[in-house]
Amino acid sequence: MSHPYNALHTFHLVVRFQSLKTTADFLHLTESAISHQIKRLEGQLGYPLFYKSGRQLKPTPEGQRLSKELAAPFDHIDQILSRVSDKPQPLTIYCMPSLIEPWLLPRLLAFKEKHPNHELVINYHSSAPDYIDEYSVCIGSHESNDSNSYLSTKILSGETIPVCSPIYLTRFAFPVSSQDILNADLLHDHNQDSWQDWFAAQGLEFNKPPHFLYEDFHLLKMATLAAQGIALCPQALIQDDLHNGTLVALSTQKGNLGRHYAIERNKYAHKNIIDLIQHLI
């Protein structure tokens, strides 16, 4: 059974763009032509490749497996063709909010001065697609045991220490003990596992239900500065706050061991993306 190159390449692009219309515009075809190619391919394979999620198309589990196999060779082909046409493409950065102001923007300022003709698009990490193409990078947080299908470059440690604001600190007598921290208002990012591990390392059991859950470190830090409680914050991202006294470290015992921030890129990333990463690190 033969699977035409055009249909497979179209499928690859629909996965990337999550949209028939965007794919059609990219290939200068009609949506109907794109839909016909996908349906014909599904008929040949004998299983559906997509399902609708709101306005976006999401690959089925079978579609994800096929996409994973096709991504690298088609990226390589697209990369070669882009070198031939030399058509400029915008560089897209998907970055965690907590890294944008203190880490990313100062570095981009110098990059833009050196490469004034490069178009940059900055998006939140949460909006990153499932597939990182050759003109994109993702900058986010990773645990020590994370598996990764992309090339990853570590940029900062994400290991944490317990901190609070000077106002919240007035509730305690010095020195602040681990038991004092256990009895305090504890702030969490995502879940309570980080605090459980931190207390377990000191022989203490933590089983209180979380009262404050924040989506990411950016929100967690805002709550901590507002004297809402004690949080485990990445030490690398709060150096200025510790130095000027807006946050106070309560212990040198680190949490989230092995957590780090990294830049992820496609194996066949465009040379402009490589230049960008080299500049950022």
- If asked whether residues 21 and 42 sit together in one domain, one would say yes
Query: Sign of the CA dihedral 223, 228, 233, 237?
Result: positive
- If asked whether residues 118 and 189 sit together in one domain, one would say no
Report strand pairing: 186-189 vs 212-214. parallel
Q: Looking at residue 133, which CATH number applies to its domain?
A: 3.40.190.10
Residue 207 is assigned to a structural domain of this protein:
yes
Residue 81 is assigned to a structural domain of this protein:
no
- If asked whether residues 142 and 178 sit together in one domain, one would say no
Phi, psi of 84 (to 5 degrees): -70, -45
Residue 80 is assigned to a structural domain of this protein:
no
Residue 95 is assigned to a structural domain of this protein:
yes
- If asked whether residues 58 and 128 sit together in one domain, one would say no
Is it the case that residue 61 has pLDDT exceeding 80? yes
Is it the case that residue 81 has pLDDT exceeding 90? no
Element (H, E) at 44: helix 31-45
At 83 the pLDDT is: 55
Residue 76 is assigned to a structural domain of this protein:
no
Q: Are 169 and 124 in contact (CB under 8 A)?
A: no
Among 36, 71, 106, the domain-final residue is 71
Q: Which residue has the higher pLDDT, 84 or 11?
A: 11
CB proximity list for 118: less than 8 A, separation 6 or greater? 88, 91, 111, 112, 272, 276
128-160 confidence digits (pLDDT tens) = 877 788 889 999 988 877 777 788 899 999 999
At 66 the pLDDT is: 85
- If asked whether residues 65 and 112 sit together in one domain, one would say no
At 95 the pLDDT is: 93
- If asked whether residues 97 and 175 sit together in one domain, one would say no
- If asked whether residues 167 and 235 sit together in one domain, one would say yes
Question: Residue 245: which of 190, 175, 169, 150 has the closest Cα?
Answer: 169
CA distance 189 to 22: 35
% of the chain at pLDDT higher than 90:
30
Specify the pTM: 0.69
Count of structural domains within the chain? 3
Q: Helix, strand, or coil here: 56?
A: strand
- If asked whether residues 167 and 224 sit together in one domain, one would say yes
CA distance 145 to 42: 36
At 248 the pLDDT is: 95
- If asked whether residues 204 and 151 sit together in one domain, one would say no
198-251 confidence digits (pLDDT tens) = 999 989 988 877 777 887 888 899 999 999 999 999 999 999 999 999 999 999
188-198 confidence digits (pLDDT tens) = 887 678 899 99
Report strand pairing: 248-249 vs 120-124. unpaired
Range of the domain at 235: 160-249
